[in-house]
Structures are given as structure tokens and as C-alpha cells.
């Protein structure tokens, strides 16, 4: 019995030391990770802005797809919006930013975070992947499944249909949100 208590105490001490070490490591790395995520977000906003001036962020709390939006203007005239989008892919939640003209047409998009399968859903991070959605959302429907794509584009998303559908639904939701805003902020 004493032997078992001795081993239990040793194991408890080891677990305590490990928990302290993990907590200490987290306290050091958390600010660095948050700073890196903010820098990546700012870079993505710049990439999708079309060179227009980016306005201040407005948080959206009553929409399951849209998290926030920022106005885009040129010489004081509203040209469109950048919208923070979230969706549910194969690997879980994904986040992205997309820019839209005031009529809801998607201009550009960039993936921010995802947990998709490497080699399949992770392709959505590659340059050019979001081009499949450019120009949609206004007069042309946003593709939400492979049958809405050309043969070449459909084969490019083969094996990642869930990711593609999640992106399409998020972009379509962003388009509808922008249409509801109209040309004024």
C-alpha cells in the first residue's frame, strides 16, 4: 500500500510540474501568436482591398456567416466592402476575408484560418483558388457545388468538395449581406 501511495505521489508531482511548464509556455507564446494572427489579418485585408481605402471595422453579431465588415472607398465614395466570413469545412471552422462591390459581386478573397486536409482542402490557401468565385454574387450565382463549375475548375476541387461547398456558402452569405448594406454605410 505504501508503495502505491509513493508512486501515486511521484506521478502527481510529475503531472504538476508538466502542467506548470505548459501554463508557463502558453503565457509566453500566446501574445506572440496573437500578434502574428493580427499581422496576417491586416495583410489579408490589404490584399483584398483592391487598392481602395479601408474603413473602420463594424462587428456583426446577428449573422451566422458574417463576423464583421469594413467599408472600401475611393475619394470618399463607397466602392464596396470587406467582409469577415466563417464557415464549416471538412476539418472544422474556417475563416476568411472577401471583398465585394456594393452590388454583392465578389472581387477577391483570402483564407485566414482552417483545419482542412493537407493536399486537398488546404489547396484553398493557394493563390488562384479563390478565383473560381471572382465575379460571382452579383448577377452570377456563387458556385456552391462542383456541378456549377467548368470541367477544369471542378477537377481542381476534386477530393475537397466539403471545403469548396463551405467556401461557396460563406461567399454567397457575404454577398447577400453586402447587398443588404447597399451603397451606404
| 56-96 pLDDT per residue, tens | 889 999 999 999 999 999 888 888 999 999 988 777 788 89
All three cell numbers of 164: 469548396
CA 33 to chain centroid, in Å, comes to 17
**Region 92-113 average pLDDT:** 89
pLDDT digits (tens, 9 = 90+) for 9-54: 999 999 999 999 999 999 999 999 889 888 888 888 888 888 898 8
Tell me, what's the pLDDT at 153? 61
Tell me, what's the pLDDT at 113? 76
**Region 94-104 average pLDDT:** 91
Tell me, what's the pLDDT at 144? 73
CA distance to 20, 21, 43, 137, 180, per residue, from 33 (Å): 20, 18, 15, 34, 35
CA distance to 5, 65, 73, per residue, from 79 (Å): 71, 22, 5
Tell me, what's the pLDDT at 184? 47
- Indicate whether this model's pTM tops 0.85: no
Contacts for 120 with CB less than 8 Å, ≥ 6 apart: 90, 159, 160, 163
Amino acid at each position: 500500500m505504501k508503495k502505491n501511495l509513493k508512486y501515486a505521489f511521484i506521478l502527481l508531482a510529475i503531472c504538476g510540474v508538466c502542467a506548470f511548464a505548459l501554463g508557463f509556455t502558453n503565457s509566453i507564446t500566446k501574445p506572440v501568436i496573437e500578434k502574428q494572427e493580427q499581422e496576417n489579418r491586416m495583410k489579408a485585408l490589404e490584399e483584398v482591398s483592391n487598392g481602395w481605402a479601408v474603413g473602420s471595422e463594424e462587428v456583426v453579431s446577428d449573422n451566422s456567416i458574417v463576423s464583421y465588415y469594413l467599408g472600401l472607398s475611393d475619394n470618399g465614395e463607397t466602392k464596396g466592402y470587406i467582409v469577415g466570413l466563417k464557415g464549416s469545412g471538412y476539418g472544422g471552422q474556417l475563416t476568411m476575408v472577401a471583398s465585394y462591390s456594393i452590388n454583392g459581386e465578389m472581387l477577391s478573397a483570402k483564407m485566414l484560418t482552417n483545419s482542412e486536409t493537407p493536399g486537398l482542402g488546404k489547396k484553398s490557401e493557394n493563390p488562384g483558388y479563390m478565383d473560381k468565385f471572382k465575379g460571382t454574387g452579383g448577377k452570377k450565382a456563387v458556385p456552391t457545388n462542383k456541378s456549377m463549375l467548368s470541367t477544369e475548375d471542378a477537377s481542381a476541387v476534386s477530393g475537397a468538395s466539403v471545403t469548396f461547398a463551405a467556401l461557396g456558402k460563406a461567399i454567397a452569405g457575404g454577398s447577400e449581406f453586402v447587398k443588404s448594406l447597399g451603397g451606404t454605410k
